[in-house]
Structure 1
Amino acid sequence: MVAIAAAALSLAAPINVGAAAGPARDTVAESLSKRLFPLLDALGRNPQAMSALQSREEVGAMLRARYDRRQACGADLGCVAQAMVWTDGETHVLAAALPATLPDGQADDGAAAQAQREIAGVNAIVRTFGLGQVPPYPEIDGAGTIDPQETRSRLQAASWLSQTVRAGSVQALDPSVEFALALLDGSDRTDAIGYEPLPGGLNAPAMKRARGIDWARFRYSAMIVTGVGPEVDGMALSPFGKYHLRLAAQRFAAGDVPFIIVTGGRAHPRATRFAEAEQMRAALIERYGVPADAIVIEPYARHTTTNLRNATRLLIAMGAPLERDAIIVCNPGQSASIESPQFVQRNLKELGYEPGKIGRRMSPTELEFRPSALSARIDPRDPLDP
């Protein structure tokens, strides 16, 4: 199988690397890989584990078939992109062969389940950003409408980059992950790493304060303020978003919540330069006088489902006890939607689990929420917010 990997990488003939040079580090691709594909990324940084995987007969046969499929495409870039997509059978072979433990790549449901999610993420990126498949939320996701010549340029660059060695990459096993990363980078959709490390930056004051908090002093661990992105290009906050902030400031004044988690990414309109959570934080400080060390931004969420999932991830990072309720604050319509049975089904369909349990309604704009540790699962099927 080492011979197969070497043959696959030899396609990068135009790249001249000195004999003494090692693989180049690409900090953007490296960060994106760790964020989207933690298990596969850990595998790429573990030569012993990768070698053991390559040596398995069933894995070798599967990788040989994938290599032959790519080679048969020749210079047809659309064919190359399609050949990068993993079949269900190929996914099963790789997932079943993974070692029981891999550093930095574990999920609560095990390596095989996480590998299946990550390969599904590779497929979603290739299909959406390489093959033009309409994404689940076409108004805000995907590459949008682009010129055919630009499409070809992105595919060609992704093909070349997938064959050009990068330090720590899993491409010696299969180039599809590197191909997917290059498609995102070529489309300038590296949204998933825009605020990393998330506990630092604007969140550093609140994270520092959280380390010394006596959580038992407060009725709720945090207030989760959901986003409602604007639909007007150049608008930083929607009218509903501004209403949410007034509600949040009023609720925070009651004194029984130590932190406000404002959640919303660069979603509406497509490719907006504004991260809603960042704008909400600024308004809470400037307009309402909320202390900076009481506000945590969650600047990635693109949907109400992931508002709650990502807020839960931040509660975990803060050390908040998950057995304590948080409180969700938003407008009456969105609040009613969150409380509905349809929202439960949407979570199960889009995430595979509920990010937490909706509890008592405290007012038309307030719902109690018990967060779930299942929210820690990384899922790159949404590559802009895994």
Structure 2
Amino acid sequence: MKSIALFLICFYSSITCFAQKPQADPQYKLISGGDYVASKNYYLLTLFGHIPELKKLLSADQVLSKIGNDKQVELAEAVKNCGEDIGCYIRAAEFSDDDIKQVGTRLGELYRADNELGKLVSMHLVPSGCYSLYADMDNRQLLIKAWEQDAKAVNHTNGVYNGGQKPNYPAIDSINFNIRDKSYPELIALNAALSLSEAKKDNLFFSPGLLFALHGLEMNERNQVADAEPMTETVNKAALEYAKKLKWSRYKYTLILVPGEGPEEKDVALSAGGMLRCRLAALQYNNGAAPFIMVSGGCVHPFKTKFNEALEMKKFLMEVLHIPEYAILAEPHARHTTTNLRNCARLVFRYGFPMDKPCITSTAKSQSYYITDVVPARSKKELGYSPYLNGKRLSDTEAEFYPLPVSLQIDFDEPMDP
């Protein structure tokens, strides 16, 4: 049975177990530079800025420097001339199609297997898994696709959180400001001026647009992607210490996943549905099904809530149901059912847990069937892949799933949960 599951995981994931090309590595340590908002959304750009020899190579290149200087000029002109035209600032800060093409072409020209860009791909982009949808490409093309993805991600953030464009889920993810308010253009002009000043210090071709995007997230209080990071040292520290001495063979399942259900009332910390889902998972845990319960969900419902679904469920499991902290893993970032499963798969991989052993979901009947019957296709549409394979249905409220490593792929248009 175990060999069949492994075969299925290999067959359906974006990688092939028998391929010679290196793949994502659970031992790889992500580089954040202390800025988890930037690194989790724009990993290539983070690496560009935090690997000294690579930064030196890019800063010294005349073609890339000209592109960066031209962008600084555009932003400076915007500060002087855009006035109350919000779109004018956005166009100045974003990467145009021509910018994206020029940078991609130049990165391809600079790439050598034995230079800093070659090392970047082989030592970081491939083992990180952050661009796993491009894993079958040659390394030069993977580098270009990673750049294109990060550029699109910066543009999306700027469009939504500076320009007021509609996000994928307007009810929970929209901008915090009325862009028609007379004071808003001045706020955006200040962001542009600040981004320009900081970019001149960075001396990197992408800095103006990236900084403008990061400031946009910050002023909208949309930095939740950094909540509880680094999780290995905060909310999941006790569980990971326990995992070091765990005998996985004693358990049929790796973990029990509890997807969050955010309350709609502003002052309610944990919904009734969240409480009952925790109780279902506690029954499975106490029966010895798995060594861990993973609670998943971010600050989602209602709009701009301060309550985090995963952390409130963890508190309920510990204080009310007396589940020990070492048995609880928190995933405090997911904003949708698709990313409950995706983020779970990511942590299973990153934490070095068995990938050929199934996990189970424990939730209400309607969501349980939604996960098995609808979410795989929805994930392929929204994420470009399914983050898991269905296993057996155990009951109306529990079903098996096998996490897939393709889940490490960054989602460019969800900056609070990429």
Q: TM-score, normalised by structure 1?
A: 0.85
Contact 2:333 2:416 in 1 (8 A): yes
Task: Work out which of the residue numbers 350, 355, 361 in structure 1 matches 2:387.
Answer: 355
1:230 — aligned with what?
Answer: 263
Q: Output the CA distance in 2 between the equivalents of 1:181 and 1:264.
A: 23
Task: Work out which of the residue numbers 105, 115, 123 in structure 1 matches 2:155.
Answer: 123
2:178 — aligned with what?
Answer: 146
Contact 2:67 2:205 in 1 (8 A): no
Q: Output the CA distance in 1 between the equivalents of 2:118 and 2:408.
A: 19
Task: Work out which of the residue numbers 82, 87, 93 in structure 2 matches 1:84.
Answer: 93
User: Cα RMSD over matched residues?
Assistant: 2.6
Give the 5 Å matches for 1:45-64: 45-46=50-51, 48-53=53-58, 59=64, 62-63=67-68
Amino acid at match of 1:76: C
Task: Work out which of the residue numbers 69, 72, 75 in structure 1 matches 2:81.
Answer: 75
Task: Work out which of the residue numbers 347, 368, 374 in structure 1 matches 2:400.
Answer: 368
Q: Does 1:210 align with 2:243?
A: yes
Pairwise CA distance, 1:71: 4.9
Task: Work out which of the residue numbers 164, 175, 186 in structure 2 matches 1:132.
Answer: 164
Q: Output the CA distance in 2 between the equivalents of 1:169 and 1:212.
A: 44
Contact 2:75 2:192 in 1 (8 A): no
Contact 1:221 1:325 in 2 (8 A): yes
Pairwise CA distance, 1:173: 4.3
Q: Output the CA distance in 1 between the equivalents of 2:357 and 2:261.
A: 26
After TM superposition, the structure 1 stretch with the greater mean CA deviation from structure 2, 73-82 or 317-326, is 73-82
Q: Output the CA distance in 1 between the equivalents of 2:158 and 2:417.
A: 16
Task: Work out which of the residue numbers 185, 190, 213 in structure 1 matches 2:218.
Answer: 185
Contact 2:258 2:294 in 1 (8 A): yes
After TM superposition, the structure 1 stretch with the greater mean CA deviation from structure 2, 234-243 or 69-78, is 69-78
Q: Output the CA distance in 2 between the equivalents of 1:241 and 1:362.
A: 20
1:17 — aligned with what?
Answer: none
After TM superposition, the structure 1 stretch with the greater mean CA deviation from structure 2, 82-91 or 363-372, is 82-91
Pairwise CA distance, 1:188: 1.8
Amino acid at match of 1:255: G
After TM superposition, the structure 1 stretch with the greater mean CA deviation from structure 2, 102-111 or 198-207, is 102-111
2:290 — aligned with what?
Answer: 257
The alignment-based identity, stated in percent, is 30
Amino acid at match of 1:265: G
1:33 — aligned with what?
Answer: 38
Q: TM-score, normalised by structure 2?
A: 0.79
Give the 5 Å matches for 1:331-350: 331-340=364-373, 342-350=374-382
Q: Output the CA distance in 2 between the equivalents of 1:271 and 1:205.
A: 29
C-alpha change, 1:355 and 1:150, in structure 2 (3 Å) is farther
Amino acid at match of 1:113: K
1:155 — aligned with what?
Answer: 188
Runs (5+) with no aligned partner, structure 2:
1-31, 108-116, 136-141
